[in-house]
């Protein structure tokens, strides 16, 4: 656990170059909206996946709600969501990618509250990655 903390401090100390803009936060929200859409699409594929996917969906919806507080205007759900089917491996991988990129947003924030929230979201996304990795065959 201490190594993770050291890694986070090192990552933040080297990337704090500018504060995230509303467009950065809006992109995080859009990323999460697409992830929720993809995870929802996978729900019907297997009873075994349902509990984990429901947790991922619920937590990402909570993240979106919290992040919307940092925007002047709410971000609508994208009208053009991907039409190609996505598998569990792709959703799992996306959680890890989001964790890394969203940690960078946390590190760049000069707003301590936004930084804390983004770091927590990043940690949650890595937990989602671990949870879903355990379900891959």
The predicted pLDDT at position 75 comes to: 74
Say what the pTM is: 0.81
Cα-based distances in Å from 98 to 44, 47, 65:
24, 26, 17
Q: What is the pLDDT of residues 88-123, one digit of tens each?
A: 999 999 999 999 999 999 998 888 999 999 999 999
Could you please state the CATH topology (level 3) that the domain comprising 2-133 is classified under: Ferritin (1.20.1260)
**How far, CA to CA in Å, does 67 sit from each of 12, 64, 120?**
20, 5, 12
Parse the chain into domains and list their residue ranges: 2-133
Candidate from 21-25, 101-105, 115-119, 124-128 with smallest mean pLDDT: 21-25
Per-residue pLDDT of 49-73, as tens digits, reads: 999 999 999 999 999 999 999 988 8
Q: Give the chain's mean pLDDT.
A: 84
């Amino acid at each position: 656990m201490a190594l993770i903390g050291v890694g986070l401090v090192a990552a933040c100390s080297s990337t704090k170059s500018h504060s995230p803009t509303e467009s950065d936060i809006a992109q995080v929200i859009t990323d999460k909206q697409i992830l929720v859409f993809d995870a929802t699409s996978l729900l019907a594929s297997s009873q075994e996946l349902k509990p984990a996917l429901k947790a991922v969906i619920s937590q990402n919806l909570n993240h979106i709600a919290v992040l919307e507080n940092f925007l002047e205007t709410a971000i609508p759900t994208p009208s053009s969501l991907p039409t190609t089917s996505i598998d569990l491996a792709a959703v799992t991988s996306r959680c890890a990618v989001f964790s890394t990129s969203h940690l960078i947003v946390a590190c760049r924030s000069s707003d301590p509250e936004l930084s804390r929230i983004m770091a927590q979201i990043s940690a949650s996304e890595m937990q989602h990655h671990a949870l879903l990795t355990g379900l891959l065959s």
